[in-house]
């Protein structure tokens, strides 16, 4: 690879890492918000849906990845907090 291609590849990796960090912070904040607040179940579900929409804006066509990585974590939280079965 020439220098320009290497620089472009590095920039792409840096941008993807930035998006990953942004999503991780949003997921962590949303998880803590749901866990620590007294919001009703429907509002908690709306928070999860909002996180998913934002994740898909950051990573288009990665809905299955979100569902595999983050959705189970949010489901467990909602089940525990709201005693769902």
Domain boundaries, the chain: 3-82
Q: Consecutive sets of 10 residues in the chain, 85 residues long: mean pLDDT of each?
A: 89 96 98 98 98 98 97 98 92
pTM, 2 dp:
0.90
pLDDT confidence of residue 77: 98
Helix (H) or strand (E) holding 49: helix 41-58
Q: Are 55 and 70 in contact (CB under 8 A)?
A: yes
Cα 76 to Cα 53: distance, rounded to the nearest angstrom: 20
Structure confidence at residue 1 (pLDDT): 67
- The pLDDT value recorded for residue 85 is 79
CA dist 5 and 8 (Å) reads: 5
């Amino acid at each position: 690879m020439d220098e320009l291609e290497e620089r472009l590849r590095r920039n792409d990796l840096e941008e993807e890492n930035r998006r990953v960090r942004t999503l991780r912070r949003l997921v962590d904040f949303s998880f803590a918000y749901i866990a620590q607040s007294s919001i009703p179940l429907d509002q908690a579900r709306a928070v999860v849906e909002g996180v998913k929409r934002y994740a898909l804006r950051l990573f288009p066509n990665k809905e299955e990845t979100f569902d595999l990585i983050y959705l189970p974590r949010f489901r467990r939280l909602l089940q525990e907090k709201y005693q769902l079965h």
